[in-house]
Structure formats: structure tokens, C-alpha cells
Amino acid sequence: MQVQRIQNNGYTPQFKSWGRVVYHNIPSKADYAVKHRNTTSFFRRDMDWPALTKFLVDKYKDVSKVNTYCYGCSNGAEPYSLLIQLYSRWPELVANKFMPIIAKDYDAEAIKVAKAGIVPIEEEELAVVKAVADNREERFLDYVEKTDFGEYLLTGNVWKMRYNKGYANKMDFSVADIRNDYKNIAPENSVVFARNFLPYLNTPDLFELLRHLGEQMKQNSCLIIGAFDETDLMSKREIDIEKLLNNAGFIKADDYLKYVYTKH
């Protein structure tokens, strides 16, 4: 499998891996290695998950079905964070309206891991999962054990966990690239997570994607980005993400939830 080094106006992103190092298809992997672009974690700290889910539950209280998408889902940690937060804090009837979460990543290997459901989790992340689940994590996790992922993990000993298969029908994992898959987003009552990968897109692709999302998503829809999408990596390229989103018809939902944009 090849991973191409991305150049954006002289800036080359560095990729951190959740599970492996991918090498260019060259005779000696020592010649050049690039860490894979799958940086993820459970309950990623750039989002206030309780506030986010409350916002979504309140916004869609009169809607019977919400179309929920998570692009760049990697090994499934982020969509499962949403699932765990919803089912731990809200009645099942309320949580069910956001299911299934349609989770997609352009990397087939990441989707393979997500579907298998056996993923590494750092001890600090596991503590957060337990806290959110009120120490009933077995509801969501079939098992958790200390292990060594060896070559598949950069950090050595971690916990290994498997998603509870009882929630398998709440997730729909597939391979897709948002740059052309945006047209499969339902126009109405949609929540789209497109978090922490926008700087990896070259400038024309980024402009085109946000324009397409603005055209595809109608009123009563939300687009959720991440802290990495608004870092100085963008300002170095003279890109103002908020302005681009405003031009596409999105406005910040709340000053506190600064990465959540609604369609107006």
C-alpha cells in the first residue's frame, strides 16, 4: 500500500500513526518512511463531548431521524466516542435516532481495523471511556486487556479492546473519500463529522470540498470540524477556514462549541 507525501504550498504535514508505519513501495523501506495519517483517539480533547451531544439532542428534538456521518473515521474511535456518549447519557430512544453512524475513511486498512473492532487504546483514554460509561464499560467493550501490538503500534504496551458486537448495527463502516462521497450525504437533518484532516488537502481540493458541502447540506444540518483544522498550518497557507465555511453557508453554532457549524 502506498501513501503519497503531500505538499501544500511548501508545507509537508507529518503523520502520526495509531497502529502502523506505512512505507513507500520502494526496494528498501529504510530509504524513506512516512508515518500513516491515522491520528485518532477516544473522546479527542478538542471537543466537549457532553456539550456537543446535548446540543445535537436539543437541536433535533423534533426530528425522528438524524443522518450521522463521520468522515476520516480511522479505526472507529471517534464515531464510537459519539455512540458511547449518547447511549450513556441519553435514553436509548433519543440515541437511536442518530444511528446508524455512517463512518467512512479513504484508507481500506483503517476500515478493516474498524470493522474487526479490535483496537489499541491508551490507559488515559480507557479511563475516560469508563467515566463516560459510569464504569459500565462492558456495555460497549467486549473485553480490554494489556497487550503489545508489536509492529502495529508505535508506543509499545497499551490496552487492547474490542467493541461490543451488540452495537454492530449502530455502525456502518465503509471506504470512501469525502472529496467525491459528499454527494451521498442526505441534504436534510444531517450531522457531518469532518474533523482534523482538512489541512492534509491541497488548497484547490479544500476550497472545492467546502463549496460542495455547502451546496449539498441544507438547513437543519451541522458540519463539525476539529482544532487541527483551524491551526496555524492553515494560516501559513493564508487560509481562513471560518471564512470559507461562512462563504459556503455555515455559521458557528455557539461560541463555546466553536468547531460546530450549522447551515443557515
Question: pLDDT tens digit string along 122-178?
Answer: 778 889 999 999 998 889 988 777 665 444 444 444 677 788 888 989 999 999 999
Weakly modelled stretches of the chain, pLDDT under 50: 1-37, 149-157
The pLDDT score that the predictor gives to residue 229 is 87
Question: What is 38-54 written as a DSSP string?
Answer: B---TT-TTS-HHHHHH
The pLDDT score that the predictor gives to residue 154 is 42
Runs of H (alpha helix) within the chain: 49-59, 77-89, 92-96, 108-116, 123-132, 178-181, 203-216, 232-235, 241-247
The model's pTM is: 0.83
CATH number of this structure's domain 49-119+166-263, picked from the four choices 3.30.530.20, 3.40.50.720, 3.40.50.1700, 3.40.50.150: 3.40.50.150
The pLDDT score that the predictor gives to residue 22 is 36
Mean pLDDT of the chain: 81
Cβ neighbors of 135 (< 8 A, separation 6 or more) are none
The pLDDT score that the predictor gives to residue 23 is 33
